[in-house]
Structure 1
Amino acid sequence: MSPQPAKVEPEALKSEAYEWVLRLTSGEATAADVQALNRWRRISRAHRQAFAEANLLWDQLRPAAAESLSRSAAASQAFARGRPSTSGGGLGRRAFLGGALAASAAAVGYVAMRPPLGLWPSLSEMAADFRTGVGQQKEVALRHNVLVRLNTRSSIAVLAAGAGEAKADRVELISGEAAIAAMDDASRQVTVVAAQGETIASNARFNVRYDGQMVCVTCLEGDLRVEHLGRAAGLRSHEQIVYTAYDLGSVVSVGLDTVTAWERGLLVFRNDPLARVIEEVNRYRPGRIFLMNKELGRRPVLATFRIDRIDEVVPRLQAVFGVQVKTLPGGLVLLS
């Protein structure tokens, strides 16, 4: 039986978490720092929650830092690089720690900082054990014949088993989407933690997607159990459930063709509204496509796109719907 981690006072844990955020945003963090943070986060659920809350608080305080830093062109450039200013006008170490300790009660829930428009990885994503970039996919073989396949812009952390979980593998889906296969040993469990819920299986294949707002779990084969804030639901093959921070939805039957299409290198849409199509395509390309016409966004789309030819989507939409296209630097595209 693994020894239990030493108990740490909540205030001390918060201070440690704030120190980690400052280190990662200093512009001087190294690969060794990221590895050390991974070890720190794996100590306990309380450590992971403290780090997520510190991320959120930094996100709330950073606009004040930006306003102060704008007084100096050099400081402004440093902030644009994600580097907190060391000048007197910036949001320095002492100011952040002081404000953090005063405002930490407002940072509740297991949430992570979400960068604007998802244009770069969050701090939690950067601290993941395994992560994919834009348009990338990756297979990760865990212990005990558990195979995890990560979709684009996805990240996971491998967690330590809790007390009484000697025959269990625990993975946290920090963001994105993953297909998990645990088919060889029915005596072992694999648990996938995503936001406030857990998906538990012993002999199954399933897909979990977390976009920062909701978690969607689809059973591809076998049986699953989804637990969320004291409630639970069972899933069988071709069944799906969605949960948010506050609610566990109902189990529904779904076709697996569209759910698993990404594993075949495809995006499949069956009369989905154009706005939904654009949202999905944005996950697979750098920059972002903006749909400027709400009425156009309701138009149904029946199409299959190849992920390795994702740049062909905009020309095809232009040909089919006659949309006006304006291309801006940084991969930004306006459709109207």
Structure 2
Amino acid sequence: MDQIAHRFVEVNGLKLHVAEIGSESSPAVVFLHGFPEIWYTWRHQMIAVANAGFRAIAPDYRGYGLSDCPPEPEKASFADFINDTVAILDFLAISKVFVIGKDFGASVAYPVALLHPERVAGIITLGFPFAPPGAFKNQFGLPKGFYPQRWQEPGRAEADFGRFDIKTVVRNIYILFSQSELQIAKENEEIMDLVKPGTPLPSWFTEEDLATYASLYEKSGFRTPLQVPYRCLHMVGSEVENPKIEAPAMLIMGEEDYVLKVPGMSEYIRSGEMKKYIPNIETVFVPHGTHFVPEQFPDKVNKLILDFLNHNKHLVVA
């Protein structure tokens, strides 16, 4: 971890935190986190790709972790995160990059490739697929009481989270999201109530890891994270009318990822429908993997990522 360097880059009027490791002359890989994640989510992957001759870059989105919060968090959008990602590449003078996105980071990674195809050599996403146009209106139905539905309601998550310290909130979310079932609250309960006091953390997630996450969310709070992704989910898949991505791509899913239980999701992923939008995509399922497969099985995920990068690195002019 001491090998990973940290800097702040000023883009779009904000100072954004970027963690990086590897030679500036090496092919670049940008890692985009989800929620409740942060740059630290990619610690295992960053070191592995740097040791294999790549440059790893992992920003905190605006309003997350050590990055500046936008002046009006409730107006933040996926477009801001997409634009910031491209602006970071410009700041670092990187013309072409591999993009790796976890969770809703997929909804940043794919639009970067759609809107700036000349900048993207390949894409890997974990825990979430390419979302077709109108995904959360037409294709994926979110059950009543499911956590994204609850967190879309202004004030509800704030009141729920506000009963606990930030460390407990992050702990509860890691416990919930590492399970294989959907996190659905009854009418008279909140999402935080779904975790019984004393429930242990997943075996692969240490108290030290939790403390790191908690310290970063104590810095940023949850105002922007609740806005993006949850309160602008309706915008996912809206970037272009007829999306088509020609770059090579890979989707890595844990076999026990709760996302596969979202109505319509497993059928969409397993049917090959994504190939209509991304002809060169491969889907890999990790046995026993949960939604946090990069942290749960880092060696397996690192091998998949490195095989993909090495196979396609000729597409990058370092």
Decide: shared fold, TM above 0.5. Answer: no
If the length of structure 1 is used for normalisation, what is the TM-score? 0.25
**Bigger Rg, structure 1 or 2:** 1
Could you say which structure has the higher strand fraction?
1
